[in-house]
Structure 1
Amino acid sequence: MTAAIGRRDRVLAGMGQSVQPHREDRLAVVKQRNHALRVDLLDRLHAKGKITNGFGSIAAHVKVLVGAYGIYDLFRHWQDDLALNPPPDGNVVRNLLGCDPFDNQQRYVDASPLRQISYAANKVSALIAWGGDDEFVNPAQSEIFVRALQQARFNVRTHKAVGASHFWVNHALSDPLGHSARFAPVLAEFLDSFL
C-alpha cells in the first residue's frame, strides 16, 4: 500500500479498497499520515511567515498557547513533591526557584502560569494536553489550569492522553499506536485553526 505524502488535502492511495489491509499495511499508512502532518504543518508555518528557517524566527505576537503535561501551579507541585518524600535536594520546584514557598510566597505566585491568567489575555487560544497516568506531574495541574482558562473566557481545547505517563509527547510519531501519534492531528488542526 502506498501513500501520497504532502499537503493535508491529498488522499492516501489505497484507503478506499474493499479488502481489509494487513496490520502492517495499516501501521504503514498511519506512519505516512503522521509524516504528512509534520510536513504539512511546517509548510503552513513557512507559508504564513511564522518560520523562516528550520528553527525559525517566530512572530513576536503570541496567538496560541500549547501546554503539555505542565506545572501550572508551583505551590501545589511543591506540595505534591513533598508528599513523595524526596531527599532535601530532590524537590523540583524548590530547586528551580531557589527557596520554599514559605521563604518567598511571591516568587511562587509570579512563576505560576495559573496565577497569570486574566481577562486581558484571553485573546490567546490554548491547547492543553496531559497524560492521565502522569507519575511526575499530577494531572490535576492541567485540569485546574483548563478550568481557570475557561472561567477567564479563553478559547480552550484539551487532549487527555488516557493511560499516558510523563514525557509521552516525546515518543516517536512513527509509533502509530503511541500517544504522540494520536496527539499530532489534534495539534495540527488546532494550529491550523488559530495561526
Structure 2
Amino acid sequence: MTENKTAEADTAIGSIESDIVYAVHDGIELRGDFYRPSGAGPFPVVVAAPGGGWFVSDPRGLKSWGLHLARQGIAVFAVQYRAALAEKTFPGAVCDVLAAIQFVRASAARFAIDPERIGLMGSSAGAHVTALAALAGDSPRFQDRQPVGGHTGIETSVKAFAGIYGVYDMFAHWQHEITDFGKAGERRSECFIGVPPYEDRQLYFDASPISHVRRAANKLAVFLAYGTADHVVSPSTQSEAFRRALKQAGFPVAECPVVGAGHFWFSDEPIEEPGSHSGFIAPRLLRFFKRHL
C-alpha cells in the first residue's frame, strides 16, 4: 500500500498529517487526515466521517473539529469513505469505516494513541455509516465484505459513538425524500443502497442502524445532536426515534437537540463563533468523549 501524506505543525496541537492512505478497496485509495494532540500520549482517538449525502466524502470538512478536539487532548482521524456517486456502496462505505478503525488500532504506536480508547463520530451520511460500524461492525454482512489484506482481522469495536443529524432508519428516510423532494435523482438513500425498498426491503433493514440496536451491545455510549428545524433529515423519524430505541435497550445516551437549527451547521458554522450551533454543542461533545474514552 502506498502512502502519500503531508505533515504540518500546529502550535496548539501536536501535528496534522494529511492524505494518509489507510486502505485500498476496489482499487480506490481511501485517505484520511490525522490530528494529533501535543504531548507524549497515549491519546484517545475519534475516527470521524464527514457528511455529504453519500455522494461526497471529504475529510477536510471536519478540519475545525479535528483541531478543536486535538487541542483538548483527543486525537482525530477524519476519513474518506466510498461515495455513491462513483458506485453503489452499501455495504462498502461501512467496510471503509471499519478499515479505518483497524488502521488506527494497528498504528497505535505511530500515532501515540490508546487502542482501547477509540470512538466514532459522523454527521449526516457520515453519522449513518459510523453508526452502522459501531452497532453492527461484527455482522457477517460487513465482515464478509472486508477486503483481504491490510489490517483485516484486527478488532473493530469502539467505546463511544457521536452522531450529528444522522440517518438511522433508511426506509423512513427514503419516504421522507419522496415526500419532500420527489425527484428520483434526489433519492440519495436509494442511490446509496442501489434499489428502491419495494424491490429489496431487507437491504433497507440491514442498512439501518436502528435495526441493529441490541441489549447485548449496550455498553456503547451514544451522543446524538440534531437541529429541531432540520428539513433534510427528519428529527422525529431519525435521531428521536433512534434515541428511544437505544434507551429501551439500555444504552447510555446523551441527547443534544439544537433548537431552531437546520442541517449542515456542523461543518459550516465556526465552533468559536458566539451563538453558533456548532459552538453550542462543542462543550457537550467534548464532555461526552472525555467521559467515555
Q: Is the TM value for this pair above 0.5? A: yes
- Name the CA shift for 1:51/1:164 in 2 (closer, same or farther; >3 Å): farther
Deviation of the 1:90 alpha carbon: 1.7
Distance 1:111 1:56 in 2: 30
The SS at the match of 1:71 is coil
Distance 2:290 2:164 in 1: 18
Q: Please, which of 126, 132, 142 is the counterpart of residue 222 of structure 2?
A: 126
Aligned to 1:152: 249
111-120 vs 173-182, greater mean Cα deviation: 173-182
Deviation of the 1:37 alpha carbon: 6.3
Task: Tell me, yes or no, if structure 1 residue 82 matches structure 2 residue 178.
Answer: yes
Unaligned runs of 5+ in 2: 1-11, 14-66, 76-106, 119-155
1:78 counterpart letter in structure 2: W
Task: Tell me, yes or no, if structure 1 residue 142 matches structure 2 residue 239.
Answer: yes
Distance 1:184 1:111 in 2: 29
The percent identity for this pair of structures is 34
1:39 counterpart letter in structure 2: R
CA contact (8 A) 1:37 1:185 kept: no
Deviation of the 1:176 alpha carbon: 2.0
- Name the CA shift for 1:97/1:188 in 2 (closer, same or farther; >3 Å): same
CA contact (8 A) 1:41 1:188 kept: no
2:172 counterpart letter in structure 1: R
Task: Tell me, yes or no, if structure 1 residue 42 matches structure 2 residue 74.
Answer: yes
Distance 1:54 1:169 in 2: 27
* Structure 1 vs Structure 2 CA RMSD: 3.1
The SS at the match of 1:177 is coil
- Cα deviation digits, residues 16-74 of structure 1 (max 9, x gap): xxxxxxxxxxxxxxxxxxx876511437xxxxx97954999884430001111011000
**Pairs within 5 Å for 1:8-47:** 39-42=71-74
Q: Please, which of 164, 171, 187 is the counterpart of residue 261 of structure 2?
A: 164
Where relative contact order (Cα < 8 A, 6+ residues apart) is larger, the structure is 1
TM-score normalised by the chain length of structure 1: 0.73
Deviation of the 1:174 alpha carbon: 2.4
Task: Tell me, yes or no, if structure 1 residue 189 matches structure 2 residue 279.
Answer: no
Aligned to 1:176: 274
Distance 1:98 1:110 in 2: 13
Task: Tell me, yes or no, if structure 1 residue 103 matches structure 2 residue 199.
Answer: yes
Distance 1:84 1:62 in 2: 35
2:261 counterpart letter in structure 1: A
83-92 vs 53-62, greater mean Cα deviation: 53-62
Unaligned runs of 5+ in 1: 7-34, 44-48
* Number of positions where the alignment pairs a residue of Structure 1 with one of Structure 2: 161
Distance 2:193 2:210 in 1: 16
2:71 counterpart letter in structure 1: V
Aligned to 2:20: none
TM-score normalised by the chain length of structure 2: 0.50
The SS at the match of 1:174 is coil
The SS at the match of 2:254 is strand
